[in-house]
Amino acid sequence: MRRYVAARLAQSALVVLLSLTAVFGMVRLGGDPVLLFLPMDIQAKDVNEFRQRLGFNDPLAAQYARFMAGALHGDFGQSLRYRRDALGLVLERLPATLLLAGTSIALTLLIAVPLGLVTAVRRDTLVDHVGTVAMVLGQAIPGFWLGLMLIYLFAVALRWLPTGGTGSLAHLVMPSVVLAAFFSARVARLTRSAVLDVLGEEYITTARAKGLGEGRVIAKHTLRNSAIPIVTLAGLEAGQLLGGAVITETIFAWPGLGRLTVQALLNRDFPVVMAAVSFTSIVYTLMNLAVDLAYGWLDPRVRVRS
């Protein structure tokens, strides 16, 4: 197990370094960075001064070294708009994103796992058909459209909930439902197929044959053995959510990481973009790592194979 953990840690560290390089590359290879960083209506002499100040006149290798050294110390430079530490701005948004992500994941697991389980156990009954249709629909309906429709229904027409922003529990309802709807559909579908796979295994037949009650067969033998794909998908989606739900946060004016990223992109505030994208990538990589380590814990066979 220790070797497995060490190997995965080393690999993740490498991915983080390469991802930071990719962030640098994306911004620098996309043409003259000054044109990206500055508004359109700026004068030539200002452009030159700006270039000098941000060090764009230095050789690319020197710029790269400076970026990497800064990034590894958590220094992505100053926000061009707010004149503040870029990473500080990102971290400031983290609690809001964590709250939204946590609620949506909890909601997803609460809906999706029971739904997947029931549709698999009651296969080819009415429950299964209704559930499966709901899953297919949930996957196809784009989150931002669902968000708009919910705003229309609950905020405009019925006036039950606020259209956006934060502050109370009521503000949290719509964004987390929108996120959970999409992710639940995927997780439930996967749960259903994983449970169906396990139900076909011989040890389930054995468990039934030795007279175990159906409740115990499902709870002890089926669920635990179907856990791996579910944990994988849930972990990956948690990673996505922690990076900020870019679109949902924008629709509901939720002051999280995703909205910060979109605003920074619109404002051409590239130090903040680089900080936010790098941060997301690192969180995402760590989530992948956590999922892989959970694998090793859930299924000892994984440790041996690697």
Residue closer to other proteins, measured from CB, 107 or 155: 155
Per-residue interface string for the shown chain with other proteins, residues 168-197, x marking contact by CB under 8 A: ---------------------xx--x----
* Sign of the CA dihedral with 56 first, then 57, 60, and 63 last: negative
Task: Give me the half-sphere count of Cα atoms (radius 13 Å) on the Cβ side of residue 244.
Answer: 32
Q: Kindly tell me the number of DSSP H helices and DSSP E strands found in the chain.
A: 16, 0
Task: Give me the half-sphere count of Cα atoms (radius 13 Å) on the Cβ side of residue 110.
Answer: 10
Is 165 an interacting residue with respect to other proteins (CB under 8 A)? Answer: no
Is 13 an interacting residue with respect to other proteins (CB under 8 A)? Answer: no
Q: How many other C-beta atoms can be found within 10 angstroms of the C-beta atom of residue 14?
A: 11
Task: Single out the segment in contact with other proteins by CB under 8 A; choices: 123-131, 150-158, 173-181, 214-222.
Answer: 150-158
Residue closer to other proteins, measured from CB, 120 or 172: 120
User: In the window 235-294, what residues touch other proteins (CB under 8 A)?
Assistant: 239-240, 243-244, 246-247, 250-251, 258, 261-262, 265-266, 273, 277, 280-281, 284-285, 288
Residue with tokens 């508004």: 39
Is 225 an interacting residue with respect to other proteins (CB under 8 A)? Answer: no
* The one among 50, 56, 82, 144 contacting other proteins by CB under 8 A: 144
User: Can you read off the two tokens belonging to residue 134?
Assistant: 């709901």
- Give me the phi and psi of 137, to 5 degrees please: -65, -45
Is 9 an interacting residue with respect to other proteins (CB under 8 A)? Answer: no
Q: How many residues bind other proteins (CB under 8 A)?
A: 49
* 228-262 CB burial, b ≥16 within 10 A, e <16: bebbbbbbebbbbbbbbbbbbbbbbebbbbbbbbb
CB-based burial label for 150 (10 Å; 0-12, 13-18, 19+): buried
* The one among 6, 7, 10, 26 contacting other proteins by CB under 8 A: 26
Per-residue interface string for the shown chain with other proteins, residues 41-70, x marking contact by CB under 8 A: ------------------------------
Please name the amino acid found at residue 257: L
- Residue 85 DSSP SS3: strand
Task: Single out the segment in contact with other proteins by CB under 8 A; choices: 18-26, 67-75, 89-97, 108-116.
Answer: 18-26
Nearest Cα residue to 162 out of 257, 252, 246: 252
Task: Single out the segment in contact with other proteins by CB under 8 A; choices: 57-65, 91-99, 113-121, 142-150.
Answer: 142-150
Residue closer to other proteins, measured from CB, 24 or 207: 24
Is 30 an interacting residue with respect to other proteins (CB under 8 A)? Answer: yes
Q: What is the DSSP string of 3-33?
A: HHHHHHHHHHHHHHHHHHHHHHHHHHHTS-H
Is 134 an interacting residue with respect to other proteins (CB under 8 A)? Answer: no
Distance CA 105, CA 209 (A): 37
* The one among 7, 137, 219, 304 contacting other proteins by CB under 8 A: 137
Is 79 an interacting residue with respect to other proteins (CB under 8 A)? Answer: no
Footprint on this chain of other proteins (rule: CB under 8 A) = 11, 14-16, 18-19, 21-22, 26-27, 30-31, 36, 136-137, 139-142, 144-145, 148-149, 151-152, 156, 189-190, 193, 239-240, 243-244, 246-247, 250-251, 258, 261-262, 265-266, 273, 277, 280-281, 284-285, 288
